Structure formats: C-alpha cells, structure tokens
Structure 1
Amino acid sequence: MARVGMAFAGAGFLADMFARCYKEIPNVNLVAVFSRTEQRAKSFAEKYGVQSYYTDYEEMLKRNDIDAVNICVPNYVHASMTILAAEYGKHVLCTKPLAISMGQADEMVRACEKAGVKFMYGENWLYTPASYRLREIIQEGALGRILAIEAREQHSGSHSPYALKKRFSGGGVLIHMAVHPIGFIMHMIGKPVKRVYAEMGNLLHDIEGEDYAVMLMRFEEGESGIAQSNYITKGGMQDRIEIYGSEGMAFMNLTHANPITLYSDVGYSYVVEKASMSKGWTSPVIDERYQYGFANMVRHFVECIVEDKEPLSTGSFGREVLRVIFAGYESHEKKKAVNL
C-alpha cells in the first residue's frame, strides 16, 4: 500500500488525539508538525516520533514528502490554513466547525476543488463504531423510515480559551459543540434542511458566546431533528442520540456506554473527558480514540487518499452544516423560524 506523509497544523489536545491514531496506521509517516510555540512543536514531535517541527506553517508545506495536513487549530484559522495547504497540493482533514463564516467556508471548498485535493470534514461522530453499526441496521430497514432524531453534546466547558471569544470561535456552543449533533442528524436523515428554529443564551457562564443552545430542524420531507448543547453539564461529557423511525427506534450513548462500571472510595486517574471526580460509581472510558470515532476517521482519510475516493464527510458537507448553524443564529436574533 502506498505510504502517506502526514503533517499536523497544531500541537494541542486534538492533534494529540489524531497523532495517537495515525501511529497505528502502518502506511502513514508522521513527517512534520507546526505550532506557533516552538517548545510545544518540539515536544509534540519528540512524543510521537514526528520527523520535523516548524513555527512557520508555509515553510512546512514546502516539503515534498508531505501528502496531507490535519488541521487541528482554533476555528478562526481553519480557513487560511486549509487554503494554503490546498495551494501547495496537500490533502486536508479539517476539524469542526469548518470555518467561522460562510465566506471562509466557500473559499476553502473552492481552493480544494481547484487544487484537486481531498477535502475531508472531521465530524468524528459519523465514524464511531456505534454509528457504523447503526447505519448498517438502518440500511437493513430495521427502523423503517427515519422520522426524527434528537441528539446532544454537553459538558462543563471547552478545553480551549479560544472557544470563549466569538472572534476566535465564531459564536458559542451552537457552532462549537452543537455542530456535532447537527452534522450527525443531517447525515443520518440525508435530506436537505428546509427550516430551522433556535433558542440560546447564557444560563451559567459569563462568556461572549452562548453556553446553552437548542435548535429544531425540519427536513425536505417533514423529518424532524433536535440538536442541543451546553456548557452547564457536570460529571463529564455527554453525547446522546435518539432515533425514531416508522418501524422502530434506537438510542445511542457515545460517552458513557462502557462495559466497565466500578465503585471507588479513593478515586483514580481518568474517567471520561470533563469528569471532575472519580470517586463513587463511575463508568470509565476504555479508549476515546475508538469510542469517539477518531481512529476510524483518520483511517478513512488515509484510505481516501490512497484509493482516490471521496470522504464520507466532505468539505462541502461541512459547509452545509455551517450554513444550518448560521441559520440558527439568525433564527435566534429574529426570534422566528428561518427558511433555508
């Protein structure tokens, strides 16, 4: 199998997750990492055996042994880094949300199309083992016609200080977190969103963006989707999905559906992302890379490059998710439903 030279834009929390996944793919070479902070780039390279590290992004892109770039930086620089990577002929995997404006998203899609490179939108919910299996069951007809999906991601607050400023993140939890359930619902229903209604606000945190958001989506043939996210949930991250069909229903729990349940008086090192304590009854995550879909996602990205096929989640799909999100913000501002 052809080898793929991978580079990282960013050396933080997400890049760490991705690097651990790529290390398990035999035909991937970890060629380079970029970070504006030299020590962070150097430490990341040493930790994961990355060949070189850079504080100049464009200088890194000049390397001929880099085939693809994994964009793992704050939202506001997704566009500029994706476009520059495409101009240098590199395939791109960009994390969510695609951008912080529709203009940026359009430029990203155009740049990748012009360069003829793969542009994958990194919606990890679509690549979880649970999602893979559920798609198979739905395709068999077990649930009949999908009528409605309710999905949520919630926890106590973002890892990143950039998420607290609108100019960096593009908004609050609607764009930064609800992007996951919104994208999942859109993918599973597989039809255009025709109308949205959203409400949001600040229930707990005094931050620029909203810390709570809920959005109702109506699809082309009347299907319904409800996405909800917040920064007010204690006890660790919660990713939950309910799917209702004409012939059945399905419930998914991506974060706390573990085969281990334990009780401890003294606690232990790690339960699940955002969990503040480990005493009492807990259900520790086994391997977040697989459970949250990151391992399958990067493997799919590499396969798309080697086999020259389109990703399950394209940049254009990420753009459409963003369009729905901004319609949600418009709905909240106008206090009425918005047609797309």
Structure 2
Amino acid sequence: MNLDVPVGTAVVGCGRVSDAHIGAITSQPGAGKLVAVVDQNLDLARATAERWGAKYAFGSIEEALREPEVEAFDLCLPNHLHASATVQCLDGGRHVLVEKPMADDYKGAVEMAKAADAAGKVLAIGQSRRHGSAIRYVQDHMREFGSLRAIQASFCMYWPGPQAPWWAERTPEEGLVLGLLGSHTIDFVQMILGPHPIRVHAEATRLRDCWKAEDEAMILLRYPDNKMATVHLSYNQQPFFERYYLLFDKSIVEVRDVNTVLVNDEVVFKPVEGATLLVTNELFKNQFAEFAAACRGLPNRSALHPHGVALMRVIDAALESSLKNQTVNLDW
C-alpha cells in the first residue's frame, strides 16, 4: 500500500509482540513510518529504536505526544494498560492501533470508544488473524457458499507456562484463555455472523497450575435467525490446532490454520510456497496497512472500535457465564 503520506507511528511497549508490529511498519514505507519507540525502560526503548531505525526513543507516552511527527500510536502493552494508554493517546489527538483484546473488560472498552468518538480519531484493535488472505478469501466468496447456518471454531495450542509475568497473576474473575484466544476466535465468528449474539453460555476450567485463571473453555453462541456458533479454546493442546468450520446448507467451508481454505474437502485457497504455517508476517503487515488506510479515511478492513466494544461485551458475558454456571442473555 502506498499512501500520499505514510502514517508517522510510535510503537509503545517493547515486549514479546512488538517486533511483529514494528516489522509491519518498517517493511511498508508507503504505509507507515516508525517515528518513535516508547517504553518505560528507556534503555530498552533506545536499543529498539536503534535496531529498527526509529528517529526517537521515549520513556513515556506523554513525551511522545509532544512530538508532532507522531500521528498514531501502536500499543503493545499488557491488557490492563490498554484502556488508559488508548484514552491518553486519543485525548492527545492521535489515532490508535491497540493490541487485542481491546481492553481488560467491557467497561474499559466503552471508555476507549467514547474517547475515540470525542477525538474523531481512528481506534482499531489488533485482531491480526482476520487479516490473513485465507480469511479474506472466505469473506469475499460468502455468497457462493450458500446459506450459512452455523460455525464451529477451535483455537487450541500449548504454552508450557505464562508467556508474560502478568499471565500468571490473572485471577479467575479476570480470565485468561477467554480473553487472549477468545478475542481472536470470537472476532472471526462475529465478523461472519454479526457482532450481536443474543445468548452466551460458556464452560471453563483450569487444567494446569502454572496460572490461576482458566486455560480451557467451550462457548455456545446463539444468534438471531436461528444461527449458532461453538468456540473451543485451549492452552493445553499439542499439536497446535486452529480450525474454523462454516456450515452452509449445501457446503462446508473449512479455514485451516488461517492460511488454507477447503470447500467440501477440496482445497480452494492455499498459502504461497515457502510461507510459514501461520503466515505471521502477512497478518501483521496487512493489519497495519489497513490501519494506515483507516487513518487516511480510505476503505479498510480494520477491526474498528464499535466491533471491538461488542466483542469485549461477548467475552465478558462468556466469563460471567463460566463463573456463574448460567446462560447470559444479551440485550443490545
């Protein structure tokens, strides 16, 4: 993508996911320009800025907001910091791309959306998996498959332990796999079936003691017009398993590992030769390109804040359902 002027961007947070975000910016000079790197560990910010060629390294968002070259912020922060950092950037008149999940809870997502509306700026959520070419193929060919009745979605993987220290400290009431993996899988369901299910029922459990919150969950979603979806999430599955089955009246569409599409067991879309299993680079590159287009007022496929708020409401409902052992009805 080549815009008239690339979007000057500051990446906040130099943790495990930041390299994917920075790489997506620096590999697309027509879409974005890495202006600054921000981290409370200033030495780490400086080292990251030097490695990737950023002009500035800052120790706080407040400092970055004083730099006029920064038009947008790409926030790679722990969940509990998403809302406050996003509101700070929006109040400063900047666009924001925030890592998923949008916030730590629905309340925080609503605050972020209000700030985006008040500022008149773009607020997009880093739902990277929706930006794969296979997902786009399904979106663009939906009318060819027939009448959709249901979706079966599974995102199951294995982590030997917490991938960041804060994972281990999350309580059952805050949730773990429901937010971290559910934000991807439920995003896909809502992108296809719509953002407003009418009922949610979830069962969750913890199979390993390396964290406090749930690491396995099953969710049942009921939509208008008699459409339904099931979602299975796990941090205990070996080998990796990510599948989306779309059940139409006359066909079955399978999305396998975000990069392959089968219709009635026949491959109709597959990754280019040599692509990695999860085409991670493609996901983050496409995600930033769509965000840059949104910042310039161009057509885009970003997960913008109205969708993100609805997604957080459903995740919260699933967590509530699993804790209370009861179905949650949603009135939109």
| TM-score after normalising by structure 1 | 0.86
SS of the equivalent of 1:13 reads: coil
Whether 1:245 aligns to 2:237 is no
> What is the alpha-carbon distance in structure 1 between the residues aligned to residue 131 and residue 64 of structure 2?
29
SS of the equivalent of 1:200 reads: strand
Size of the alignment, in residue pairs?
315
Listed as ranges, the matches of 1:232-311 within 5 Å are 232-235=236-239, 237-254=240-257, 285=277, 287-290=279-282, 293-308=283-298
How far residue 148 of structure 1 moved from its aligned partner, in angstroms, is: 0.9
Whether 1:149 aligns to 2:147 is no
CA contact 1:76–1:167 (8 Å) conserved in 2? no
Amino acid at match of 2:108: Q
Counterpart position of 1:58? 62
How far residue 259 of structure 1 moved from its aligned partner, in angstroms, is: 6.5
CA deviations on 1:217-245 (whole Å, 9 max, x unpaired) are 0001111111111111224x432211111
> What is the alpha-carbon distance in structure 2 between the residues aligned to residue 289 and residue 70 of structure 1?
16
SS of the equivalent of 1:233 reads: strand
> What is the alpha-carbon distance in structure 2 between the residues aligned to residue 286 and residue 223 of structure 1?
29
> What is the alpha-carbon distance in structure 2 between the residues aligned to residue 303 and residue 259 of structure 1?
24
CA deviations on 1:61-113 (whole Å, 9 max, x unpaired) are 22111110011100000001100000111001111111112221111000111
Amino acid at match of 1:153: F
CA deviations on 1:234-273 (whole Å, 9 max, x unpaired) are 24x43221111112111111268576999xxxxxxxxxxx
> What is the alpha-carbon distance in structure 1 between the residues aligned to residue 17 and residue 259 of structure 2?
20
For structure 2, the 5+ residue unaligned runs are 261-269
How far residue 336 of structure 1 moved from its aligned partner, in angstroms, is: 2.0
> What is the alpha-carbon distance in structure 2 between the residues aligned to residue 10 and residue 238 of structure 1?
29
| TM-score after normalising by structure 2 | 0.88
Listed as ranges, the matches of 1:25-44 within 5 Å are 25-27=28-30, 28-44=32-48
SS of the equivalent of 1:162 reads: helix
How far residue 126 of structure 1 moved from its aligned partner, in angstroms, is: 1.4
> What is the alpha-carbon distance in structure 2 between the residues aligned to residue 286 and residue 189 of structure 1?
24
Aligned residues with identical type, % of pairs: 25
Amino acid at match of 2:144: A
> What is the alpha-carbon distance in structure 2 between the residues aligned to residue 191 and residue 15 of structure 1?
28
> What is the alpha-carbon distance in structure 2 between the residues aligned to residue 35 and residue 105 of structure 1?
23
CA contact 2:173–2:319 (8 Å) conserved in 1? no
Name which of 204, 216, 221 aligns with 1:217.
Answer: 221
Structure-2 change in CA distance of 1:121 and 1:252 (3 Å): same
> What is the alpha-carbon distance in structure 2 between the residues aligned to residue 25 and residue 124 of structure 1?
16
CA contact 1:196–1:328 (8 Å) conserved in 2? yes
Structure-2 change in CA distance of 1:297 and 1:224 (3 Å): same
CA deviations on 1:20-67 (whole Å, 9 max, x unpaired) are 111122232111111122232122112211111111221112211111
